Structure 1
């Protein structure tokens, strides 16, 4: 098991010359309680439930990457927790952005807390200002230059990617291959969600002019571990018959989902273990696990409402971590990106920080 008091090693940094083990990446969207609800009240009680999760990661030598939303970055409870994680070399702090709660607050609708607009629904100067706010807050609070990122509600586009590069980000994990978010709404009349069905499953340096293809930017896209599900003729036929929208379509999606994610939902322990095993057998160099911080708190999400459901969630996570601890190497996103860049002959990339334009963006002040 890894010594988590030492700095996290980059991928491929084996001491014995052996082929590196594939990386096991734990990504946690650290955000307010029950962000799925339409409540205008923002609470961050779930910060108090993260030490238990960190202890589980420590036990199996799997350092997590906490992708932190502005509301949690300003939470005293999370600040104390995050500083302890960094001081012990036990994980990474990156950035996650909810556009409706991150300053500058410039409402697009009469109820942004209900519509939850994508960052890409805003004009580009406001997008950049919100990224600057989120980045500077993490720098000021944790004394780190964040280099890892995931977009709120999985919504990335080319403009967003360029802004991340300008701010010094080196790794993004917003792409969900085989998944379209077309049925998900943001601000009415906004640009709409992304369709990632044709995007690569494997990591690639992003072309900021075309998010789906490799380019020369320093931003490494590390897509979520998602694979299509295959059904026999009977189940496939039933799914096709029901999957025509409306209530029947939602039932079909629950009974026969199109994809399998390395993300616990309370009923997919076996699928997650199969995904990890498939990655080993097929020679993938990493898998990426994700969870929301609020899912670790009873009542913090629509999915784990009770104490019993959270205990069952921990049972599923521990089964996966126990399986992964041997054949995989626990790694943060920043460490994985460093190893990937080294193997690709790339430079480490610029230091993270706000864009060096010589002047402040007029949209950066909170309102």
Structure 2
């Protein structure tokens, strides 16, 4: 696999095609409109510096139980998408096993290739997207992570998210071959091609069957709000070609791109996005955050105690609105059961 060190990778500029109408998941009526939370459960590193294999510290995990209690108070059982530094840290595994005792939370996979063996590639921005690696190396990293999670938690993971949303042309087939049932690597409307990553402008918010075995894609929700919000990703792209146009459009209330996360996303924008998503018929709203944000000082989103309070308040306000709209939480296992009925 030594050739991987200089191989540009088959996934450079990978752009998934939009799903056909027949591929869209028809959620059972009884499922209603639901929301779920996926946590990128990962090691700590300096977000302003280059990635490094040595960054495997997991001290922020000590704060996760307190954050988990906030979710549990609202009946929310997150899916903790763990990567290799987490699953090989006994302290982190012990913490997560205690969180799983709520009966609603679950463990999934998150693959950060730069800290996930085998290490047969250079650590570069391009290689940080696992889908850019040669197929054999990507498969080996996935198998290594899946096996480690099964050993640590006594259950093979069936939901996956590639780190940095770094899906490539081989990823879905490899996931299906490993027995995964759900991928959450596609971030609706987002583009990472300037770094050699994927382009998700053709992917909407609706779950769809990938055509790789029984594998279903649950895209991370992105909503366009404002008077011109219905213009969606195409209008947003057009605005990007005019200097400062996106900022002006947002300040004027014409168009704002909103991801459902408290990380760098104001709560007022998120609340409006929740209303829009529910009104547009998005049946499963996908929320996310990074586990190190549970404690101050580990991510640029939660730098001190004041920002941690704001982070927690963001969730409280979001949960209140969701409850008012009748949008109930859906756990990992409830999503799987609904997909079984939908098939």
- TM-score scaled by length of structure 2: 0.80
Determine helix, strand or coil for the equivalent of 2:209: strand
CA deviations on 1:219-241 (whole Å, 9 max, x unpaired) are 11011110234567xxx999764
Deviates more, 1:77-86 or 1:258-267: 258-267
- Measured in 2, the distance between the counterparts of 1:226 and 1:238 equals 17
Q: Which runs of 5+ in 2 are unaligned?
A: 1-26, 229-235
Determine helix, strand or coil for the equivalent of 1:100: helix
Q: Superposed, which structure 2 residues align to 1:112-261 within 5 Å?
A: 112=123, 117-183=128-194, 185=195, 192-208=196-212, 217-230=213-226, 241-243=242-244, 259-261=257-259
1:254 positional shift: 9.4
The alignment's C-alpha RMSD in Å is 2.7
- Measured in 1, the distance between the counterparts of 2:66 and 2:264 equals 18
Determine helix, strand or coil for the equivalent of 1:165: helix
- Point out 4+ residue stretches in structure 1 off by more than 6 angstroms: 236-239, 251-257
CA contact (8 A) 1:171 1:333 kept: no
- Measured in 2, the distance between the counterparts of 1:170 and 1:20 equals 18
Partner of 1:77: 91
Q: Superposed, which structure 2 residues align to 1:306-345 within 5 Å?
A: 306-325=304-323, 327-343=326-342
Partner of 1:46: 60
Residue 23 to residue 35, structure 1, CA distance change in 2 (3 Å)? farther
1:163 positional shift: 0.5
- TM-score scaled by length of structure 1: 0.75
Higher helix content, 1 or 2: 2
Given the alignment of the two structures, is residue 282 of structure 1 paired with residue 280 of structure 2, yes or no? yes
Partner of 1:6: none
Determine helix, strand or coil for the equivalent of 1:140: helix
Residue 218 to residue 253, structure 1, CA distance change in 2 (3 Å)? farther
CA contact (8 A) 1:148 1:334 kept: no
CA deviations on 1:178-198 (whole Å, 9 max, x unpaired) are 221122x2xxxxxx2111101
- Measured in 2, the distance between the counterparts of 1:313 and 1:132 equals 35
- Measured in 2, the distance between the counterparts of 1:167 and 1:295 equals 30
CA deviations on 1:254-279 (whole Å, 9 max, x unpaired) are 97986211111355101211222223
CA deviations on 1:161-180 (whole Å, 9 max, x unpaired) are 10000111001111112221
CA contact (8 A) 1:95 1:134 kept: yes
- Measured in 2, the distance between the counterparts of 1:254 and 1:301 equals 25
Residue 70 to residue 30, structure 1, CA distance change in 2 (3 Å)? same
Partner of 1:189: none
Determine helix, strand or coil for the equivalent of 1:275: helix
Determine helix, strand or coil for the equivalent of 1:227: strand
1:315 positional shift: 0.8
